[in-house]
Amino acid sequence: MIRFGLCLFMLLATGACLLQSQQPEIEAHLGKGTQLMQQELFEAAAGEFEQALALNPSDPRPHFQYAICLLSLGRNEEARRQFEQVRQLGGESRYLTYYFGRLDLLSNDYVSAIRRLGSVVEDPPSRDTAFHLGVAYVSSGDVSAGIKYLERAAKLLPRDYRVHYRLARAYSSAGREQEAAHEFNLYNQFRDEHKNTETEARACTSALHSQSIQNAHDVCHRMFDPNDPEKLTLLGQLFGDAGAFTEALDPLKRAVQLDPKSFEAWHNLGVTYFRLQRYTDARAPLETAVALRPEFYGSVVLLGATLYMVGDDDAALPVLEQAHRLNPADAQTTEILEKLRAGRQKQ
Amino acid sequence: MTRRDFLTMLAAGTAGARLLRAQEGGMATRGVRPQPRGKPSGLPFHARFTDVAAQAGLRAPIIYGPVDRMDYILESMGCGVAFLDYDNDGWLDIFLLSGTRRAGPVEGASNRLYKNNRDGTFTDVTAKAGLTRQGWACGVTVGDYNNDGFEDLFITGWPQNILYRNNGDGTFSEVTENAGLLHPGNRWGTGCTWVDYDRDGHLDLFVANYLVFDFDKIPSTGKDPACNFKGVPVNCGPRGLVGERPMLYRNNGDGTFTDITARSGVAAVPPVYGLTAVAADLDGDGWQEIYVACDSTPSLLFHNRGDGIFTEQGLQSGLAVNEDGREQAGMGIAIGDCDNDGRLDVLKTHFAEDTAALFRNMGHLNFEDVTLRSGLGVETRHVSWGNGITDLDNDGLPDLFWVTGSTFPEVERKHPEFPHKSPRVLFRNLGGGKFEELLEAGPAIAEPHASRGVAFGDFDNDGDLDILIMNMNEPPSLLRNDVTGRGHWLKVKLVGTKSNISAIGAVVTAVYGGRKQVQAVLASSGYLSCNDRRLHFGLGAAMAADLEIAWPNGAREQVKGLPADQFVTVKEGAGVVARERFRA
């Protein structure tokens, strides 16, 4: 959800009319808020977006991010009002249609949910669009249409146990017991996998904190599924959290191969190379991460640092300026930025 | 600042992006945030609740583990309560389970039987009845297993369960071993219910088990991520501990039971963390299903095929997990017709940061999770336990009630938003499948306690439903209901002849004032508790009701045109055999 919200964020950014003097502060709140959302700290993130809106209520970006926060917090009617604001300020978009559709579904307005989600399902703003549309159809009583879209969702999200559960229940309601049994089996399989991953991650974390890296590696390697990018990313993250950066590389490299659109995988791969002081190798993953989430301060500042470390000061300067806009309170970035600017003036 | 300095600074500050949220604690909690509360309906609610436990004589605290901390999961789960008429005098008596403390026996701690003095007070007759016992009791089911006309008691607990036969003279005899119900080794029995699964007229017994527990083997508080809640070390489990399978015992008709867990199909499920078990005919085929609320594992629905075999149909029915396919921390189960469509719906309570779940019965053992659309999504604050679907204001629409209380008293010091003691929860039925939470309905609703079991019954025979509540390490609460509106009511007691004499498993459909409501005679409900066996129908403005009774043995019987505001006894095959108008 956040990923697609940010796409709109980018789209709207070009059209936003900001008050020049307040722009750095607004950018800072947006950057901080986005980072908090990434950590699922939605209450705190909402506070940042509220502050951005107080500075410039006509900027659609904080309205949009704030709306997503509110939706995540279950404050659905407030979220709807914020999305309405975005529409008034920036016009219609398929992202807005998607979110309005989801809000309709949450408020049991199935007719409107079906209309809205159905209008964007062929060019979906999110991979779960078909899932929500299928749920809306089933909830409205049109089980056969629901099955059609839930089947599509199962193809788009083949490892998502929620989809298989809903599809199984829909088949069951339609009396298609054999297909229901098949989907229940898939549900059980992926639910078990999910739970196993949680258990394995706990065991890996515990081993990494209590044993040598070599011994812990054996425990953690149970998580290595060469076909599951999320699990590989998690494994890389756990190694990274424990400072085992060399061990983190393999799973993360495999993860970005499997899911080239995974911001988390690219960012973590970049962090890992950076922490191994392999700055040249860190550059490409961090550039990809920043391209996927240009407002995520952690990626931006690290890319700036990487460019600085490899001596590409020209490339580093605009990236660090962006990092500074996202987080003006970071004194070290400010200091190095001034140094780079001073160096450029001397030239 | 040098390049090296900058590098050092960043190395300290950079972090990987989180992909998965860390799992917290040993229980299933979805981290659900409450939906916003809508504008109050402003409609009057005619029930008011006052805690009269102290003036009624229920003053002894129910001991259950230490007061200010719970080092072991056994100390945190609490126990049930029961309304029963053990002496057949027409007035509800009270049976309260009790725990103890690991450090040693606590003076005065015991399961307790209170006899109704018919004047709003009770007398403790525990010792006289032969029921004094201290231990870790959990669940209770009330039913006349030997069909002698007197209600017997089965109690679950750790490390052993107990069967008490009612001698009919005010005393009980402990007959567990003679009945064949003493199990080898230690086990933590929790939910239990009498159920005539084979319709032979004898009550069989279903027992859920929670997990393998041993004070000396359970990991200590805070030992691993499953022993931690919101960063506070807490008692371990249930996740990370070994679950157990439920058991089914067949009544041989001679005072003894046979373990038929394996041959009945009940053993064909994986180990779960089983809690409350309720038996009711949920698909209307005349054979009782058994539903088990499971804590952090999928809940179980045993479909009674009618040939002595149960098949587990939890997932297929929609009762195992929530609508997103995630298991919940199932605690209590209430069965009732919350939308007046003539089918038995299910309300299940869960942990904090999750909603209770309301499952609408769509027929053919297919249930739909209608929690959010019913308006229950506004309440996610507390750990929720004993519950009921019952008409509290006699308006003809069953309301929802449950009690709450934390399992981790240590947490509130760091997180005041998770208090150890918390208020009761009441949702009034607005009709049309909608419910509205009432934060005020007399002083007893908002009073905070760490509660567990709940039983509903009319202890003062005044035509409304009162509520009995187990509070951890406090005296119980007895919520006297004072209904002030003009809602009428009808109370029905069934007596089986060919069926089991307690009529457990019977289903009664009442038709009144253009409405229909179905209720089942249950031997277990709420959280490990047992309600008044008499069915109570609020009738609203209707002055009469028709009843259709489906007896446990499959026979059907109709009683037409029963005037409101009376208590009737219907004997199987003989119609109404007694009528009583309670004093005003």
Q: Is the per-residue pLDDT at A13 higher than 50?
A: no
| C-alpha distance from A264 to closest chain B C-alpha (Å) | 5
Residue A2, SS3 per DSSP: helix
CA angle B152/B156/B159 to nearest 5° reads 135
Q: Chunked in runs of 10, what are the mean pLDDT values of chain B (584 residues)? A: 47 44 44 74 95 98 94 97 98 98 94 98 98 98 98 98 98 98 96 98 98 92 77 90 97 98 98 98 98 96 98 96 93 98 98 94 93 90 97 98 95 92 98 94 96 98 98 98 96 98 98 97 98 98 98 97 98 98 80
Which of B392, B401, B389 has its CA nearest to residue B484?
A: B392
Task: Quote the minimal CA–CA distance from A283 to chain B in Å.
Answer: 14
- Separation of alpha carbons B162 and A190, rounded Å: 41
The answer to whether the beta carbons of residues A336 and A320 sit under 8 Å apart is yes
What are the strands of the beta sheet with B47-51, ordered from one edge? B47-51, B477-483, B466-471, B451-457
Interface pTM, i.e. ipTM: 0.81
Pick the closest to residue B334 from B297, B288, B280 (CA basis). Answer: B280
**Dist CA B443 CA B455 (whole Å):** 19
Q: Measured between CB atoms, which of B35, B36, B325 is closest to A187?
A: B325
Structure tokens that stand for B348 in this block? 């299940």
> What is the 8-class DSSP label of residue B581?
P
How far apart are the CA of A165 and the nearest CA of chain B, in angstroms? 6
Q: What is the pLDDT, as a whole number, of residue A21?
A: 58
Q: Which two tokens stand for residue B149?
A: 């006309």
Residue A125 CA to residue A93 CA, distance in Å, equals: 10
Please tell me the pTM assigned to this model: 0.84
Q: Hey, of B7, B10, B434, which one would you mutate to test binding to chain A, going by the most A CBs within 10 A of its CB?
A: B10
Are the beta carbons of B287 and B197 closer than 8 angstroms? yes
Per-residue confidence (pLDDT) for residue A22, from 0 to 100: 66
- Beta carbons within 8 Å of A297's beta carbon, 6+ residues apart: A31, A32, A34, A35, A323, A326, A327
State whether B14 and A271 contact (CB < 8 Å).
Answer: yes
Contacts of A191 in chain B (CB under 8 A): 325
What tens digit of pLDDT does each residue of A151-208 get? 999 999 998 999 999 999 999 999 999 999 999 999 999 999 888 888 888 889 888 8
Interchain contact, B19 vs A172, CB within 8 Å: no
- Exposed/middle/buried for A3, CB within 10 Å: 0-12, 13-18, 19+? middle
E-strand ranges in B183-280 read: 189-195, 204-209, 228-229, 232-233, 247-251, 257-259, 274-280
B315 contacts in chain A (CB < 8 Å): 165, 168, 184, 187-188
Q: What share of chain A is helix, strand, coil (3-state, %, to 5)?
A: 80, 0, 20
* E strand map for B204-246: 204-209, 228-229, 232-233
Distance CA A98, CA A106 (A): 13
Residue A236 CB burial class (10 angstroms; 0-12, 13-18, ≥19): buried
Burial of residue A91 (number of CB atoms within 10 Å: 0-12, 13-18, 19+): exposed
Of B225, B318, B324, the CB nearest to A162: B324
pLDDT at A212: 86
Q: How confident is the model at residue A330 (pLDDT cuts 50, 70, 90)?
A: confident
Residue of chain B whose alpha carbon sits nearest to that of A168: B316
Say if CB A191 and CB A168 are below 8 A apart.
Answer: no
Instruction: Give the Cα separation of B536 and B460 in Å (integer).
Output: 14
Chain B environment of A335 (Cβ under 8 Å):
1
In Å, the largest CA–CA distance within chain A is 78
> In chain B, what residues touch A165 (CB-CB under 8 Å)?
315, 321, 324-325
Instruction: Judge: B16–A236 Cβ closer than 8 Å, yes or no.
Output: yes
Residues from chain A contacting residue B35 (CB–CB below 8 Å):
74, 76
> What is the rounded distance in angstroms from the CA atom of residue A245 to the CA atom of residue B298?
38
Please write the tens of the pLDDT for every residue from A70-91. Answer: 998 878 889 999 999 999 988 8
Q: What is the DSSP letter of B422?
A: B
Asked whether the beta carbons of residue B36 and residue A230 sit closer than 8 angstroms, the reply is no
DSSP-derived 3-state class of residue A17: coil
CB within 8 Å: B10 and A301: yes
Nearest CB partner across the interface for B17, out of A38, A187, A332: A38
A199-247: pLDDT as tens digits: 888 889 888 888 888 889 889 998 999 988 888 999 998 999 888 999 9
Q: Rounded to the nearest 10 degrees, what angle do helices A161-173 and A177-210 cross at? A: 160
CA distance A43 to chain B (A): 11
The pLDDT of residue A27 is 82
Query: Chain A residues with CB inside 8 Å of B9's CB?
Result: 332
